[in-house]
Every structure is written in C-alpha cells, then in structure tokens.
Amino acid sequence: MNIFEMAVSAKDASKKLAQLDQNTKRNILHSMADALLENGNQIKEKNDIDLENGKKAGLSSAMIDRLTLTNKRIQSMAEGLRVMADYKDPIGEIVEGWKMYNDLQVAKVRVPIGVIGMIYESRPNVTVDSAGLALKSGNAIILRGGKEAINSNKVLCDIITEAGMKNGMPDGSVQLIRDTDRSLVKELIQLDKMIDVIIPRGGQSLKKAIVNDAKVPVIVTGAGLCHCYLDSSADPDMALDIVLNGKVQRPGVCNALETILINKDYKEDEVISIINLLEENSVKVLGCSRIKEIYDGVELASPEDWDTEYVDLIVSVKIVDDIDEAIDHINKYGTGHSETIVTSNISNADKFTSEVDAACCYVNASTRFTDGGEFGFGGEIGISTQKLHARGPMGVKELTTTKYVIRGKGQIRE
C-alpha cells in the first residue's frame, strides 16, 4: 500500500478500535507479549543485521546501545505490554459531569484521538511501545522508524500485528512504513484529513523538519538537554551517585544528563572527585573557566556546548554563584525535559521545582527516571517537552482527548 492507502486503512481501523471492549484489548496486548518472547531469536537475528550495518556506518557506541535488542530488552518490551494490558482503560471514562440550569445532563467523556503518525529514530522498542499504547487507548497508528533499525522494526511489527489480528485487532490498526525514503514522511505529515496527530521522536533536525512541513498537528517529544544542579548543601556521596547514573548508565537517551551546574561554595576537592569519577567512566568533561581553574585537565567548554544535547559520553560542567543563576541557566538552555537538584535545603528544593520550566523536576534523584515504564504506564509513546496537550511521559491517557455528551428531555434554547 502507498501512504494514502495506509492512512485510509488506519482511519477505518480507528473507528473499530474505539469500540473495542477492555477484555479484547487486554487479550490482544497479552498475545503480543507472548509472541515477542516466543520469537526472541528471530528478533535478535534481524537486530544483528541492523547492528552490523550501524557499525559499518560509524554510529557512536551510544547510538549502537540505543539500537541493540537483548533478551532482557525483549523481555522488558513484553512486560511493558502486559502492564498496558492491565492498566485501567481510559476510554469511556467520565472526566467530569454536571447538571445545567435547564436540567441538561453534561458529561465530559474520554475518547481516542483517532489516527497517530509516529516518526522515530534508532530505538526499535519504540515500535512495540507505541503500538501497544495506541491500541490500549483505542487509536490506530502508522509507524515510521529510522533506516538504522529497519530490519528490527519490520520483524517486531510483523510479530505483534500477526498476534494482535488473531485475537481481534482490526486490520490496519498497526502499520509500519517499510520504505526508508524520506519523501514518504513528508507525504504522511500532510494528510490532515486522515491523520489526527503526528508524534516525532528523535533528534532536533528531525523534529524541526516535521514541525516546518506538517499540516497535521504535532506533539514535540524527546529533546533532552537535561541538567543537574549541585547546591551548596548537597550530600557529596548522593551527588556522585546521581551524576554518574544520569550521565553514564545510558548516555544515548533523552533523559541522560548533559550539563552539571555546581554551586561556587561546593568544596574544590568534591568538584575534583566528580570530574575524576566521570573521567574514570570514559566521560569527556568540558568545563567553564572556573572549572578549569580548579582542574586544568578539562577542556574549556565553548558557548555552543551549553546548548548541545550530546547523547554521548560527553558532559559540560559549570560553576554558578547561586541557585538563581542555576535556574536562569537551565531555563535558557534546557529543552523542557528533565532537571534535577541535589540539596539538603528544603527552601531551595521548593524554589527549584517551582521556577524551573520543565516537564519533570527532580529533587535528590536521577533524571533517568523520566520514562513511561518507570512511571507505571507500561511504556511511553514519547516524552512531550511542550505544554499542549500533554507534557512529560505520554502514556495511555495522554493519547486520548475528550468530548461532551449532553442528554436532554426536549430542551430548546430561548
């Protein structure tokens, strides 16, 4: 099928999905989870092709990590589908209701959005997470992954759609664009009569191109220039743990740390301990002039570095005078994703969470927790960094909208 035919099929499927009962959706999602586990070897064989191609193309170690599917990650995808399956079904939920002055009964009811166009890069688990969340929320979805994961995405989509359709999923509910020609993306994002929302998940250039060309409404997700501010009262050991986890555990993901801001009253030997720990874990440290005075071995950060999402083992470090300077820096350079403060000062913690403009603000915890699975959603279709209509990890409820149902007894307006 061409893109228009796929959109027509998705539109038709969306009408049927909106009427699926909770038990049917639960059975479909559990069957998808079973199928992933039963076909793990086949998935890894196709993933190995993508990994080999990625290495030949010179992808960074962080990008290769994003691309890799292990037994543990396949198990995690299956578990995510099971959590979605058992999650409270939002469709038909009465958000609020009231009686008008003329006895009309008004109910605000949660309903599916309709057809979602999902455009993403690198991480093949997004194929499964997005399909599962769309199904649970009663939406059809058209998926377009990056060329670096095309073999993995194809086999994952084949496995889950076959399992789903055997258990009552309408044809056209989950579709993958199998051609990596970029012109097809432009065609998809201009089908405003068929597609209800586009969700891009990837680098800044991808999202900018889609926002510029789309005729369909876009929910921007994923850009993660995340900061950690170490307050003067921060526990040094806690700070080391949070910085290391945020930067090193998975540097290629959007909730990893890119910049560390350190209060000027932080002890110099503790600053050096942080830099040593990062360098021991293969992190390249770029520092401001004040950092370089403390530790001459770091490379001087350029003005552009404060505005860079590295998605790699690189981090920028800056000394700031106080929490106000830290907040100003974050609000200037941050992408509205995830920010954290390490502090023992309750007032500073409250000030940080109140004044920092981000979807997720942490106190004494790693930014790596910004994730639909960690939040209990089973997965996420993306992490929205805008303010309408969803913000933060987008789970099942964030893929719904509402409509008003009004019941009367013949009332007319005078």
The string of pLDDT tens digits covering residues 110-151 is 999 999 999 998 889 999 999 999 999 999 999 999 999 999
Q: What is the pTM of this model?
A: 0.89
Length of the chain: 414
CB atoms inside a 10 Å sphere around CB 304: 8
Nearest CA to 290 among 250, 261, 332? 261
> Percentage of the chain with pLDDT > 90?
91
Question: Which of the residue ranges 194-208, 309-323, 341-355 would you say has the lowest mean pLDDT?
Answer: 194-208
In this prediction, residue 15 has a pLDDT band, given cuts at 50, 70 and 90, of: very high
- Going from the N-terminus, what domains does the chain have, and what CATH number goes with each? 3-221+381-407 (3.40.605.10), 226-369 (3.40.309.10)
DSSP string, 89-148: P-TT-EEEEEE-TTS-EEEEEEEE--EEEEEE-S-THHHHHHHHHHHHTT-EEEEE--GG
The 10s digit of each residue's pLDDT in 200-212 is 987 778 888 999 9
Position 1 scores a pLDDT of: 80
- CB of 390 closer than 8 Å to CB of 124: no
Mean pLDDT, the chain, rounded, equals: 96
User: What DSSP state is assigned to residue 307?
Assistant: G
Q: pLDDT value at position 225? A: 96
The pLDDT value recorded for residue 388 is 87
Instruction: Please list, in sequence order, all residues whose beta carbon lies within 8 angstroms of the beta carbon of residue 314, skipping any fewer than 6 positions away.
Output: 251, 283, 284, 286
Q: Where are the alpha helices (DSSP H) in 176-322?
A: 183-188, 204-213, 236-248, 268-280, 289-294
Specify the 3-state DSSP secondary structure of 362.
Answer: strand
Average pLDDT over residues 271-279: 97
> What is the C-alpha to C-alpha distance for residues 83 and 77, in angstroms, rounded to an integer?
10
Identify the burial level of 34 via C-beta atoms within 10 angstroms of its C-beta, where 0-12 means exposed, 13-18 middle and 19 or more buried: middle
